[in-house]
Copies of this chain bind each other. A is one copy, B any other.
Protein backbone atom coordinates (compact mmCIF):
# COMPACT_ATOMS: atom_id res chain seq x y z
CA UNK A 1 0.00 0.00 0.00
CA UNK A 2 1.12 3.55 -0.70
CA UNK A 3 1.81 5.94 2.15
CA UNK A 4 -1.41 7.78 1.28
CA UNK A 5 -3.46 4.58 1.42
CA UNK A 6 -1.85 3.53 4.68
CA UNK A 7 -2.51 6.94 6.13
CA UNK A 8 -6.16 6.77 5.07
CA UNK A 9 -6.49 3.40 6.82
CA UNK A 10 -4.83 4.82 9.91
CA UNK A 11 -7.16 7.82 9.89
CA UNK A 12 -10.28 5.64 9.54
CA UNK A 13 -9.21 3.43 12.42
CA UNK A 14 -8.32 6.35 14.65
CA UNK A 15 -11.58 8.11 13.94
CA UNK A 16 -13.60 5.03 14.84
CA UNK A 17 -11.73 4.76 18.11
CA UNK A 18 -12.44 8.44 18.72
CA UNK A 19 -16.14 7.74 18.10
CA UNK A 20 -16.09 5.20 20.92
CA UNK A 21 -14.16 7.47 23.27
CA UNK A 22 -16.47 10.37 22.60
CA UNK A 23 -19.48 8.11 23.14
CA UNK A 24 -18.00 7.40 26.59
CA UNK A 25 -17.74 11.13 27.15
CA UNK A 26 -21.45 11.53 26.35
CA UNK A 27 -22.30 8.82 28.90
CA UNK A 28 -20.08 10.49 31.49
CA UNK A 29 -21.59 13.90 30.84
CA UNK A 30 -25.05 12.39 31.23
CA UNK A 31 -23.93 10.68 34.43
CA UNK A 32 -23.02 14.03 35.98
CA UNK A 33 -26.01 16.00 34.69
CA UNK A 34 -29.21 14.04 34.08
CA UNK A 35 -28.83 10.39 35.13
CA UNK A 36 -31.63 9.20 37.42
CA UNK A 37 -30.33 7.54 40.62
CA UNK A 38 -31.02 3.92 39.70
CA UNK A 39 -29.50 4.49 36.26
CA UNK A 40 -26.12 4.30 37.92
CA UNK A 41 -26.51 0.56 38.40
CA UNK A 42 -25.63 -0.18 34.80
CA UNK A 43 -23.85 2.98 33.70
CA UNK A 44 -20.56 1.86 35.23
CA UNK A 45 -20.42 -1.32 33.20
CA UNK A 46 -21.46 0.48 30.03
CA UNK A 47 -18.55 2.88 30.45
CA UNK A 48 -16.18 0.04 31.25
CA UNK A 49 -17.18 -1.78 28.06
CA UNK A 50 -16.61 1.29 25.90
CA UNK A 51 -13.18 1.87 27.49
CA UNK A 52 -12.31 -1.72 26.87
CA UNK A 53 -13.36 -1.58 23.21
CA UNK A 54 -11.42 1.62 22.55
CA UNK A 55 -8.39 0.19 24.27
CA UNK A 56 -8.60 -3.14 22.43
CA UNK A 57 -8.94 -1.49 19.07
CA UNK A 58 -6.10 0.92 19.68
CA UNK A 59 -3.71 -1.70 21.04
CA UNK A 60 -4.48 -4.36 18.40
CA UNK A 61 -1.39 -5.85 16.76
CA UNK A 62 -2.65 -4.70 13.37
CA UNK A 63 -2.68 -1.12 14.62
CA UNK A 64 0.90 -1.48 15.85
CA UNK A 65 2.03 -2.89 12.50
CA UNK A 66 0.27 -0.11 10.65
CA UNK A 67 1.81 2.59 12.83
CA UNK A 68 5.30 1.15 12.53
CA UNK A 69 5.01 0.89 8.79
CA UNK A 70 3.63 4.41 8.45
CA UNK A 71 6.29 5.78 10.74
CA UNK A 72 8.96 4.60 8.32
CA UNK A 73 7.36 6.30 5.30
CA UNK A 74 8.95 9.43 3.93
CA UNK A 75 6.25 10.83 1.69
CA UNK A 76 3.83 12.12 4.28
CA UNK A 77 3.24 15.75 5.16
CA UNK A 78 4.77 17.16 8.34
CA UNK A 79 1.46 17.11 10.19
CA UNK A 80 0.75 13.57 9.00
CA UNK A 81 4.15 12.49 10.31
CA UNK A 82 3.47 14.18 13.61
CA UNK A 83 0.09 12.46 13.95
CA UNK A 84 1.67 9.09 13.27
CA UNK A 85 4.56 9.69 15.66
CA UNK A 86 2.22 10.74 18.47
CA UNK A 87 -0.10 7.81 17.82
CA UNK A 88 2.82 5.43 17.91
CA UNK A 89 3.93 6.95 21.20
CA UNK A 90 0.39 6.51 22.56
CA UNK A 91 0.27 3.00 21.17
CA UNK A 92 3.49 1.99 22.86
CA UNK A 93 2.28 3.40 26.15
CA UNK A 94 -1.21 1.88 25.91
CA UNK A 95 0.20 -1.44 24.80
CA UNK A 96 1.76 -1.75 28.23
CA UNK A 97 -1.70 -2.00 29.76
CA UNK A 98 -3.82 -5.06 29.01
CA UNK A 99 -7.53 -4.71 28.23
CA UNK A 100 -8.21 -6.70 31.34
CA UNK A 101 -6.23 -4.22 33.39
CA UNK A 102 -8.01 -1.26 31.79
CA UNK A 103 -11.40 -2.81 32.58
CA UNK A 104 -10.34 -3.58 36.15
CA UNK A 105 -9.26 0.02 36.54
CA UNK A 106 -12.51 1.33 35.07
CA UNK A 107 -14.57 -0.85 37.39
CA UNK A 108 -12.45 0.09 40.38
CA UNK A 109 -13.09 3.74 39.54
CA UNK A 110 -16.84 3.15 39.48
CA UNK A 111 -16.67 1.48 42.88
CA UNK A 112 -14.42 4.18 44.29
CA UNK A 113 -16.65 6.92 42.91
CA UNK A 114 -19.73 5.53 44.61
CA UNK A 115 -17.82 4.95 47.83
CA UNK A 116 -16.57 8.53 47.72
CA UNK A 117 -20.09 9.88 47.19
CA UNK A 118 -21.31 7.75 50.10
CA UNK A 119 -18.37 8.75 52.29
CA UNK A 120 -19.09 12.40 51.59
CA UNK A 121 -22.74 12.05 52.48
CA UNK A 122 -21.74 10.21 55.66
CA UNK A 123 -18.89 12.65 56.25
CA UNK A 124 -16.52 9.79 56.93
CA UNK A 125 -13.29 9.01 55.11
CA UNK A 126 -13.40 5.44 56.47
CA UNK A 127 -16.09 4.51 53.90
CA UNK A 128 -13.82 5.60 51.07
CA UNK A 129 -10.55 4.24 52.38
CA UNK A 130 -10.69 0.64 51.20
CA UNK A 131 -11.94 1.33 47.62
CA UNK A 132 -9.35 4.10 47.37
CA UNK A 133 -6.65 1.76 48.58
CA UNK A 134 -7.62 -0.75 45.90
CA UNK A 135 -7.56 1.95 43.26
CA UNK A 136 -4.14 3.16 44.37
CA UNK A 137 -2.75 -0.35 44.15
CA UNK A 138 -3.92 -0.38 40.54
CA UNK A 139 -2.38 3.04 39.89
CA UNK A 140 0.92 1.84 41.34
CA UNK A 141 0.68 -1.15 39.07
CA UNK A 142 -0.08 1.18 36.19
CA UNK A 143 3.05 3.20 36.98
CA UNK A 144 5.11 0.01 37.01
CA UNK A 145 3.59 -1.19 33.75
CA UNK A 146 4.15 2.15 32.05
CA UNK A 147 7.68 2.40 33.38
CA UNK A 148 9.46 5.47 34.71
CA UNK A 149 12.75 6.98 35.72
CA UNK A 150 13.47 8.15 39.26
CA UNK A 151 9.93 8.29 40.67
CA UNK A 152 6.84 6.14 39.97
CA UNK A 153 4.70 9.27 40.17
CA UNK A 154 6.45 10.51 37.00
CA UNK A 155 4.70 7.77 35.04
CA UNK A 156 1.31 9.05 36.19
CA UNK A 157 2.02 12.75 35.71
CA UNK A 158 3.27 11.93 32.23
CA UNK A 159 -0.28 10.86 31.34
CA UNK A 160 -1.52 14.40 31.92
CA UNK A 161 1.49 16.39 30.80
CA UNK A 162 4.07 14.63 28.67
CA UNK A 163 7.51 14.76 30.24
CA UNK A 164 6.39 16.34 33.49
CA UNK A 165 8.46 15.05 36.42
CA UNK A 166 8.61 15.24 40.18
CA UNK A 167 11.92 17.07 39.78
CA UNK A 168 10.30 19.83 37.69
CA UNK A 169 7.27 20.25 39.94
CA UNK A 170 9.33 20.14 43.13
CA UNK A 171 11.53 22.83 41.69
CA UNK A 172 8.61 25.05 40.71
CA UNK A 173 6.95 24.62 44.10
CA UNK A 174 10.20 25.21 45.96
CA UNK A 175 10.52 28.56 44.22
CA UNK A 176 6.89 29.47 44.54
CA UNK A 177 6.28 28.60 48.15
CA UNK A 178 8.47 31.19 49.95
CA UNK A 179 7.39 33.97 47.63
CA UNK A 180 3.74 33.16 48.25
CA UNK A 181 4.38 33.06 51.98
CA UNK A 182 5.98 36.51 51.84
CA UNK A 183 3.10 37.90 49.82
CA UNK A 184 0.52 36.40 52.17
CA UNK A 185 2.32 37.74 55.19
CA UNK A 186 2.26 41.24 53.72
CA UNK A 187 -1.46 40.94 52.98
CA UNK A 188 -2.21 39.67 56.46
CA UNK A 189 -0.87 42.88 57.96
CA UNK A 190 -3.09 45.13 55.84
CA UNK A 191 -6.72 46.08 56.42
CA UNK A 192 -8.81 43.19 55.08
CA UNK A 193 -11.14 43.34 52.11
CA UNK A 194 -14.88 43.13 52.73
CA UNK A 195 -16.68 40.63 50.52
CA UNK A 196 -19.76 40.10 52.66
CA UNK A 197 -22.11 41.44 49.95
CA UNK A 198 -21.26 38.44 47.77
CA UNK A 199 -23.14 36.39 50.33
CA UNK A 200 -26.54 38.00 49.94
CA UNK A 201 -29.41 36.29 48.15
CA UNK A 202 -28.95 36.08 44.37
CA UNK A 203 -31.81 34.62 42.35
CA UNK A 204 -30.80 31.39 40.64
CA UNK A 205 -32.29 32.16 37.24
CA UNK A 206 -30.79 35.62 37.08
CA UNK A 207 -27.37 34.24 38.04
CA UNK A 208 -27.73 31.60 35.33
CA UNK A 209 -28.58 34.27 32.77
CA UNK A 210 -25.56 36.27 33.80
CA UNK A 211 -23.35 33.20 33.50
CA UNK A 212 -24.57 32.61 29.95
CA UNK A 213 -23.84 36.26 29.18
CA UNK A 214 -20.28 35.87 30.49
CA UNK A 215 -19.75 32.78 28.34
CA UNK A 216 -21.00 34.62 25.28
CA UNK A 217 -18.79 37.56 26.05
CA UNK A 218 -15.59 35.56 26.17
CA UNK A 219 -16.52 33.94 22.85
CA UNK A 220 -18.10 30.57 23.75
CA UNK A 221 -20.01 29.34 20.68
CA UNK A 222 -23.43 28.16 21.79
CA UNK A 223 -24.04 26.62 18.38
CA UNK A 224 -21.15 24.30 19.20
CA UNK A 225 -21.80 23.72 22.87
CA UNK A 226 -24.06 24.23 25.84
CA UNK A 227 -24.08 24.74 29.59
CA UNK A 228 -25.91 22.55 32.11
CA UNK A 229 -25.98 22.14 35.86
CA UNK A 230 -23.98 19.55 37.75
CA UNK A 231 -22.70 19.13 41.29
CA UNK A 232 -19.09 19.64 40.19
CA UNK A 233 -18.48 22.01 37.29
CA UNK A 234 -16.58 20.46 34.40
CA UNK A 235 -15.94 20.74 30.68
CA UNK A 236 -16.18 17.88 28.24
CA UNK A 237 -16.44 17.55 24.50
CA UNK A 238 -17.71 15.02 22.01
CA UNK A 239 -15.79 16.66 19.17
CA UNK A 240 -14.77 20.28 19.01
CA UNK A 241 -18.14 21.33 17.65
CA UNK A 242 -19.91 19.95 20.69
CA UNK A 243 -18.23 21.25 23.80
CA UNK A 244 -20.17 21.17 27.04
CA UNK A 245 -19.59 23.05 30.23
CA UNK A 246 -21.42 22.67 33.50
CA UNK A 247 -21.76 24.93 36.46
CA UNK A 248 -23.48 25.09 39.83
CA UNK A 249 -25.44 27.92 41.37
CA UNK A 250 -25.53 28.89 45.02
CA UNK A 251 -28.23 31.45 45.75
CA UNK A 252 -26.34 32.61 48.82
CA UNK A 253 -22.90 32.92 47.28
CA UNK A 254 -22.46 34.96 44.15
CA UNK A 255 -18.87 33.78 43.84
CA UNK A 256 -19.86 30.18 43.31
CA UNK A 257 -21.12 30.38 39.75
CA UNK A 258 -19.75 33.35 37.83
CA UNK A 259 -16.07 32.35 37.90
CA UNK A 260 -16.83 28.70 37.39
CA UNK A 261 -18.54 29.77 34.14
CA UNK A 262 -15.49 31.75 33.07
CA UNK A 263 -13.12 28.97 34.18
CA UNK A 264 -14.95 26.20 32.34
CA UNK A 265 -15.53 28.63 29.50
CA UNK A 266 -11.76 29.00 29.19
CA UNK A 267 -11.40 25.23 28.90
CA UNK A 268 -14.22 25.17 26.38
CA UNK A 269 -12.74 27.90 24.18
CA UNK A 270 -9.61 25.77 23.90
CA UNK A 271 -11.65 22.74 22.79
CA UNK A 272 -13.73 24.79 20.38
CA UNK A 273 -10.50 26.16 18.91
CA UNK A 274 -8.80 22.82 18.21
CA UNK A 275 -8.56 21.79 14.53
CA UNK A 276 -11.84 20.22 13.34
CA UNK A 277 -10.34 18.57 10.26
CA UNK A 278 -8.08 16.46 12.46
CA UNK A 279 -11.02 14.73 14.24
CA UNK A 280 -9.80 11.62 16.00
CA UNK A 281 -6.12 12.32 15.36
CA UNK A 282 -3.56 13.59 17.88
CA UNK A 283 -3.33 17.05 16.32
CA UNK A 284 -7.00 17.59 17.15
CA UNK A 285 -6.24 16.96 20.82
CA UNK A 286 -5.13 19.37 23.51
CA UNK A 287 -1.46 19.77 24.36
CA UNK A 288 -1.59 18.75 28.03
CA UNK A 289 -3.73 19.28 31.07
CA UNK A 290 -1.33 21.97 32.28
CA UNK A 291 -1.92 23.93 29.09
CA UNK A 292 -5.63 23.18 29.32
CA UNK A 293 -5.62 24.63 32.79
CA UNK A 294 -3.63 27.64 31.60
CA UNK A 295 -6.59 28.48 29.39
CA UNK A 296 -9.14 28.24 32.18
CA UNK A 297 -6.96 30.12 34.69
CA UNK A 298 -6.02 32.83 32.27
CA UNK A 299 -9.68 33.55 31.58
CA UNK A 300 -10.85 33.04 35.14
CA UNK A 301 -8.13 34.98 36.91
CA UNK A 302 -6.06 37.19 34.62
CA UNK A 303 -9.15 38.30 32.69
CA UNK A 304 -12.16 37.36 34.82
CA UNK A 305 -10.84 38.63 38.15
CA UNK A 306 -9.20 41.65 36.59
CA UNK A 307 -10.34 45.23 37.01
CA UNK A 308 -10.71 45.97 33.27
CA UNK A 309 -13.15 43.07 32.77
CA UNK A 310 -15.37 44.36 35.56
CA UNK A 311 -15.14 47.95 34.45
CA UNK A 312 -17.21 46.71 31.55
CA UNK A 313 -19.25 44.06 33.31
CA UNK A 314 -20.02 45.50 36.69
CA UNK A 315 -22.58 47.96 35.29
CA UNK A 316 -24.31 45.01 33.56
CA UNK A 317 -24.26 43.00 36.75
CA UNK A 318 -25.59 45.92 38.74
CA UNK A 319 -28.58 46.08 36.40
CA UNK A 320 -29.33 42.43 37.13
CA UNK A 321 -28.88 42.74 40.90
CA UNK A 322 -29.48 46.43 41.61
CA UNK A 323 -30.30 45.98 45.26
CA UNK A 324 -27.44 43.67 46.14
CA UNK A 325 -24.76 45.82 44.53
CA UNK A 326 -26.23 49.23 45.21
CA UNK A 327 -23.39 50.41 47.41
CA UNK A 328 -20.55 49.12 45.22
CA UNK A 329 -18.41 50.49 42.41
CA UNK A 330 -16.52 48.43 39.86
CA UNK A 331 -13.43 49.04 41.93
CA UNK A 332 -14.85 47.89 45.28
CA UNK A 333 -16.45 44.90 43.53
CA UNK A 334 -13.09 44.04 41.97
CA UNK A 335 -11.43 44.12 45.36
CA UNK A 336 -14.13 42.00 46.96
CA UNK A 337 -13.80 39.22 44.39
CA UNK A 338 -10.08 39.06 45.00
CA UNK A 339 -10.19 38.80 48.77
CA UNK A 340 -7.34 36.65 50.02
CA UNK A 341 -8.40 34.33 52.77
CA UNK A 342 -6.88 30.96 53.62
CA UNK A 343 -9.73 28.47 53.57
CA UNK A 344 -10.72 24.83 53.61
CA UNK A 345 -12.11 24.30 50.13
CA UNK A 346 -9.83 24.29 47.08
CA UNK A 347 -12.48 25.25 44.56
CA UNK A 348 -13.42 28.29 46.63
CA UNK A 349 -9.85 29.41 47.28
CA UNK A 350 -8.39 32.70 46.14
CA UNK A 351 -5.65 32.83 43.51
CA UNK A 352 -2.82 32.84 46.02
CA UNK A 353 -3.73 30.32 48.69
CA UNK A 354 -4.99 28.01 45.94
CA UNK A 355 -1.46 26.84 45.33
CA UNK A 356 -1.14 25.48 48.88
CA UNK A 357 -4.23 23.35 48.33
CA UNK A 358 -2.52 21.89 45.30
CA UNK A 359 0.84 21.43 46.96
CA UNK A 360 -0.70 19.46 49.82
CA UNK A 361 -2.50 17.10 47.44
CA UNK A 362 0.60 16.76 45.29
CA UNK A 363 2.70 15.73 48.27
CA UNK A 364 0.06 13.22 49.42
CA UNK A 365 -0.19 11.65 45.98
CA UNK A 366 3.56 11.35 45.60
CA UNK A 367 3.78 9.58 48.93
CA UNK A 368 0.81 7.29 48.27
CA UNK A 369 2.35 6.23 45.00
CA UNK A 370 5.88 5.69 46.31
CA UNK A 371 4.46 3.99 49.40
CA UNK A 372 5.71 6.45 52.05
CA UNK A 373 2.14 6.64 53.34
CA UNK A 374 -1.01 4.58 52.86
CA UNK A 375 -4.63 5.65 52.54
CA UNK A 376 -5.28 5.42 56.26
CA UNK A 377 -2.71 8.17 56.81
CA UNK A 378 -4.47 10.63 54.52
CA UNK A 379 -6.79 12.47 56.95
CA UNK A 380 -4.10 13.12 59.52
CA UNK A 381 -1.54 14.27 56.96
CA UNK A 382 -4.16 16.42 55.25
CA UNK A 383 -5.32 18.09 58.44
CA UNK A 384 -1.79 18.77 59.72
CA UNK A 385 -0.77 20.42 56.49
CA UNK A 386 -3.88 22.55 56.21
CA UNK A 387 -3.01 23.79 59.66
CA UNK A 388 0.64 24.30 58.77
CA UNK A 389 0.33 25.99 55.36
CA UNK A 390 -3.07 27.60 55.48
CA UNK A 391 -3.55 28.03 59.20
CA UNK A 392 -7.01 26.48 59.08
CA UNK A 393 -8.39 23.70 61.22
CA UNK A 394 -10.17 21.01 59.20
CA UNK A 395 -13.42 20.32 61.06
CA UNK A 396 -14.36 17.12 59.21
CA UNK A 397 -13.47 14.90 56.25
CA UNK A 398 -16.13 16.35 54.01
CA UNK A 399 -14.43 19.73 54.19
CA UNK A 400 -11.08 17.97 54.27
CA UNK A 401 -9.73 15.09 52.29
CA UNK A 402 -13.11 14.08 50.82
CA UNK A 403 -13.75 17.39 49.10
CA UNK A 404 -12.34 16.57 45.67
CA UNK A 405 -13.67 14.06 43.18
CA UNK A 406 -10.31 13.36 41.50
CA UNK A 407 -9.05 10.46 43.58
CA UNK A 408 -12.37 8.66 43.17
CA UNK A 409 -11.81 8.98 39.42
CA UNK A 410 -8.33 7.52 39.73
CA UNK A 411 -6.88 10.82 38.53
CA UNK A 412 -3.53 10.61 40.29
CA UNK A 413 -0.86 12.88 38.83
CA UNK A 414 -3.38 15.53 37.88
CA UNK A 415 -3.33 18.11 40.67
CA UNK A 416 0.04 19.69 39.90
CA UNK A 417 -1.33 20.75 36.51
CA UNK A 418 -3.69 23.12 38.34
CA UNK A 419 -0.82 25.17 39.71
CA UNK A 420 1.20 24.83 36.54
CA UNK A 421 -1.84 26.05 34.65
CA UNK A 422 -1.93 29.25 36.67
CA UNK A 423 1.75 29.77 36.09
CA UNK A 424 1.55 29.08 32.35
CA UNK A 425 -1.53 31.29 32.20
CA UNK A 426 0.21 34.22 33.86
CA UNK A 427 3.20 33.82 31.55
CA UNK A 428 0.96 33.82 28.46
CA UNK A 429 -1.04 36.76 29.73
CA UNK A 430 2.18 38.73 30.13
CA UNK A 431 2.98 37.92 26.48
CA UNK A 432 -0.47 38.94 25.35
CA UNK A 433 -0.18 42.30 27.08
CA UNK A 434 3.33 42.81 25.76
CA UNK A 435 2.29 42.06 22.19
CA UNK A 436 -0.84 44.16 22.43
CA UNK A 437 -0.49 46.97 24.90
CA UNK A 438 -4.14 47.95 24.51
CA UNK A 439 -5.36 44.53 25.75
CA UNK A 440 -6.67 45.75 29.07
CA UNK A 441 -8.10 48.95 27.65
CA UNK A 442 -10.04 46.78 25.21
CA UNK A 443 -11.19 44.47 28.00
CA UNK A 444 -12.46 47.53 29.85
CA UNK A 445 -14.46 48.35 26.72
CA UNK A 446 -15.95 44.85 26.65
CA UNK A 447 -13.75 43.51 23.89
CA UNK A 448 -12.23 40.13 24.80
CA UNK A 449 -11.55 39.16 21.20
CA UNK A 450 -7.85 40.13 21.12
CA UNK A 451 -7.21 37.74 24.02
CA UNK A 452 -9.07 34.90 22.32
CA UNK A 453 -7.41 35.65 18.99
CA UNK A 454 -3.97 35.40 20.57
CA UNK A 455 -4.84 32.08 22.22
CA UNK A 456 -6.41 30.71 19.05
CA UNK A 457 -3.29 31.59 17.09
CA UNK A 458 -0.65 30.68 19.67
CA UNK A 459 -2.20 27.78 21.56
CA UNK A 460 -5.42 26.31 20.18
CA UNK A 461 -4.51 25.76 16.55
CA UNK A 462 -1.51 23.60 17.42
CA UNK A 463 -3.38 20.85 19.23
CA UNK A 464 -0.79 18.34 20.42
CA UNK A 465 1.93 19.49 18.03
CA UNK A 466 4.18 20.63 20.89
CA UNK A 467 4.69 19.57 24.49
CA UNK A 468 3.79 22.11 27.20
CA UNK A 469 7.39 23.17 27.55
CA UNK A 470 7.96 23.45 23.81
CA UNK A 471 4.79 25.45 23.33
CA UNK A 472 5.62 27.75 26.21
CA UNK A 473 9.04 28.47 24.79
CA UNK A 474 7.73 29.01 21.29
CA UNK A 475 5.02 31.46 22.23
CA UNK A 476 6.49 33.30 25.23
CA UNK A 477 10.16 33.03 24.31
CA UNK A 478 11.06 31.34 27.60
CA UNK A 479 10.59 28.11 29.49
CA UNK A 480 8.05 28.01 32.28
CA UNK A 481 8.86 30.40 35.08
CA UNK A 482 6.86 31.20 38.18
CA UNK A 483 8.32 34.72 38.02
CA UNK A 484 5.45 35.89 35.82
CA UNK A 485 2.84 34.59 38.19
CA UNK A 486 4.61 36.14 41.16
CA UNK A 487 5.03 39.45 39.34
CA UNK A 488 1.37 39.46 38.30
CA UNK A 489 0.18 38.47 41.77
CA UNK A 490 2.44 40.88 43.63
CA UNK A 491 1.32 43.81 41.51
CA UNK A 492 -2.35 42.85 41.72
CA UNK A 493 -2.56 42.10 45.41
CA UNK A 494 -0.27 44.92 46.48
CA UNK A 495 -2.66 47.30 44.72
CA UNK A 496 -5.74 45.67 46.21
CA UNK A 497 -4.27 45.64 49.71
CA UNK A 498 -2.59 49.04 49.31
CA UNK A 499 -4.44 50.83 52.01
**Is the pair B22, A23 in contact by a Cβ cutoff of 8 Å?**
no
> In the complex, what distance in Å separates the CA atom of A56 from the CA atom of B22?
20
Cα(A385)–Cα(B328), bound, Å: 70
Residues A20 and B41 in contact, CB atoms below 8 Å apart: no
- Say yes or no: A222 contacts B19, CB within 8 Å: no
Set of chain B residues within 8 Å of A24, measured between Cβ atoms: 23
A297: shortest Cβ distance to chain B, in Å? 25
Which residues of chain B are near A23, meaning CB under 8 Å?
Answer: 23-24, 26-27, 46, 49-50
Given A46-B19, A50-B20, A53-B53, A34:B228 Cβ within 8 A: yes
**Closest chain B residue to A15, Cβ basis:** B45
Interface residues of A in 276-295 (CB under 8 A from B): 279
- Whether the pair B239, A37 counts as a contact (CB closer than 8 A) is no
Do B228 and A41 touch (CB < 8 A)? Answer: no
Known contacts A15-B45, A46-B19, A226-B34: A242-B39 contact under CB 8 Å: yes
Cα distance, A53 to B279, chains bound together (Å): 19
Are B19's CB and A45's CB within 8 A? Answer: yes
The reply to whether B222 and A36 contact each other, CB–CB distance below 8 Å, is yes
Residues from chain B with a CB closer than 8 A to the CB of A26 are: 23, 26-27, 30
Are A39's CB and B228's CB within 8 A? no
User: Quick one: which of B36, B221, B222, B228 contacts A242, CB cutoff 8 A?
Assistant: B36
Q: Mark A1-40, 1 if CB is under 8 A from B, else 0.
A: 0000000000000011001101110110010001111110
Minimum Cβ distance to chain B for residue A247 (Å): 15
Minimal Cβ-Cβ distance residue in B for A31: B26
Residue of B nearest to A42 (CB): B239
Q: Given the complex, which residues of B lie within 8 Å of A226, measured CB to CB?
A: 34, 36
* B contact residues around A53 at 8 Å (CB): 20, 53
Bound-state CA distance A225–B34 (Å) is 10
B-chain residues with CB within 8 Å of residue A42 when the two chains form the complex = 22, 238-239, 241-242, 279
Q: Judging by beta carbons under 8 Å apart, are A238 and B43 in contact?
A: yes
Residues of B within 8 A of A316 (CB): none
- CB contacts (< 8 Å) of A60 on chain B: these are none
A435 on interface, CB distance cutoff 8 Å: no
Number of interface residues of A (CB under 8 A): 38
Interface residues of A in 46-65 (CB under 8 A from B): 46, 48-50, 52-53
- Assess the B238–A46 pair: CB atoms within 8 A: yes
Among B27, B34, B38, B49, contact of A241 (Cβ-Cβ < 8 Å): B38
A50 and B19 contacting across the interface, CB-CB below 8 Å:
yes
Known: A30-B26, A238-B39. A49 touches B19 (CB 8 A): yes
Task: Tell me, yes or no, whether A326 is within 8 Å of chain B by CB.
Answer: no
* A279 CB contacts on chain B under 8 angstroms: 42
**Min CB distance, A262 to chain B, in Å?**
19
Closest to A37 in B: B223
Determine if A405 is an interface residue (Cβ-Cβ < 8 Å). Answer: no
Q: How far is the CA of A16 from the CA of B51 in the complex (A)?
A: 11
Chain B residue with Cβ nearest A29: B30
Q: Which of B38, B43, B223 contacts A223 (CB 8 A)?
A: B38
A224 within 8 A of B: yes
Cα–Cα distance between A37 and B243 once the two chains are bound (Å): 11
Interface centre among A16, A26, A239 (most CB of B within 10 A): A26
Chain B contacts for A228, CB-based, 8 A: 34
Taking CB atoms, residues of chain B closer than 8 Å to A46 are: 19, 22-23, 238
Q: Which residues of B contact A48 (CB under 8 A)?
A: 19
Query: Which residue of B has the minimal Cβ distance to A24?
Result: B23
Chain B residue nearest to A33 (CB atoms) is B34
- A84 and B139 CA atoms in complex are apart in Å by 39
Q: Which residues of chain B come closer than 8 Å to A16, judged between CB atoms?
A: 49, 52
Give the CA-CA distance A35 to B238 in the complex, in Å.
Answer: 10
Nearest B residue (CB) for A276 = B41
Q: Which residues of B contact A45 (CB under 8 A)?
A: 15, 19
Interface residues of A in 196-226 (CB under 8 A from B): 221-226
From B37, B222, B242, A35 is in contact (CB under 8 Å) with B242
Contact with B along A260-280 (1 / 0, CB 8 A): 000000000000000000010
Given contacts A23-B50, A36-B241, 6 further A-B contacts (CB under 8 A): A19-B49, A20-B53, A23-B24, A36-B226, A36-B242, A38-B242
Closest 5 A-B residue pairs measured CB to CB?
A39-B242, A19-B49, A38-B241, A42-B239, A38-B224
| Residue contacts A-B, CB under 8 angstroms, 25 given | A15-B45, A16-B49, A16-B52, A20-B50, A22-B42, A23-B24, A23-B26, A23-B46, A34-B228, A36-B242, A38-B221, A38-B223, A38-B242, A39-B225, A39-B238, A39-B239, A39-B241, A39-B242, A41-B239, A41-B241, A42-B238, A42-B241, A42-B242, A43-B238, A46-B238
